[in-house]
Structure 1
Amino acid sequence: MSVIAEFRVPSTDFELGRILTVDGDTTIELDRLVPIGDATVPLFWVHNSTRDSFVENVQNHPAVNKTSEVDVFEDRTLFTLDWQSTEDRLIQGIQEHEAQLLSAVGTPEIWEFELRFADYDVFTEFSTYCEEYDIPLDINYVYNATEPDAHPWYGLTDPQREAMTLAVRRGYYDIPRRCTTKELADELGISDQAVTERLRRAIVTLVSNTLITAESAE
Structure 2
Amino acid sequence: MCVYSDVVVPPEEFVLARTLRAHPRLRIELERAVLVDTEPSPYLWIANADGETIEATIASEPAVKHVESVDRVDDELLVRVRWRYRDIGVLRTLVDTNATCLKCVGTHDAWHLSLRFQSSSALAEWYQRCTNDDRNMAIQNIRTGACSPDRHLASNLSDPQREAIYTALERGYFSVPRKITLQELADALGVSDTAASQRLRRGLRVLLVDVLSGVPTDGEVPFSTVSVQ
What TM bracket, shorter-length normalisation?
A: 0.5 to 0.7
For 1:143 and 1:51, the matched residues in 2 are separated by 38
- Partner residue, 2:35: 34
Q: Give the distance between the partners of 2:63 and 2:127, measured in 1 at CA.
A: 25
Which residue does the alignment assign to 1:80?
80
Contact 2:13 2:90 in 1 (8 A): no
After the TM superposition, list the runs of 4 or more consecutive aligned residues in structure 1 that deviate by more than 4 angstroms. Answer: 146-149
Change (3 A) 1:85 1:35: farther
User: What displacement does 1:35 show?
Assistant: 6.0
CA shift, 1:12, in A, is: 1.5
Q: Deviations over 1:23-60 (max 9, x none)?
A: 232100112583633x3212211011111111111112
Matches within 5 A, 1:38-53: 39-53=39-53
2:159 match: none
- Partners of 1:62 and 1:117 lie apart in 2 by 28
CA distance in structure 2 between the aligned counterparts of 1:62 and 1:4, rounded to whole angstroms:
30
- Structure 2 match to 1:140: 140
RMSD between aligned alpha carbons? 2.3
Structure 2 counterparts to residues 142-181 of structure 1, below 5 A: 142-146=142-146
Question: Where does residue 107 of structure 1 map in the other structure?
Answer: 107
1: CA distance, partners of 2:83 / 2:67: 8
Kindly indicate which of the two structures has a greater share of residues assigned to helix: 1
Structure 1: unaligned runs, 5 residues or longer: 150-218
Question: For the Cα contact (< 8 Å) 1:64–1:81, is it kept in 2?
Answer: yes
TM-score (norm 2): 0.58
Which structure: larger Rg? 1
- Report which structure shows greater RCO (CA 8 Å, sep ≥6): 2
Identity of counterpart residues, as a percentage? 22
- What corresponds to 2:122 in structure 1? 122
For structure 2, the 5+ residue unaligned runs are: 150-229
For each residue in 1:113-150, what CA deviation from the matched residue of structure 2 results, as whole angstroms up to 9, or x when unmatched?
0011111111111100111122122010001135989x
CA distance in 2, matches of 1:109, 1:124: 26
Query: Is the alpha carbon distance of 1:62 and 1:112 closer, same or farther for their aligned partners in structure 2, counting shifts above 3 Å?
Result: closer
Query: In structure 1, how many angstroms separate the alpha carbons of the residues matched to 2:148 and 2:78?
Result: 32
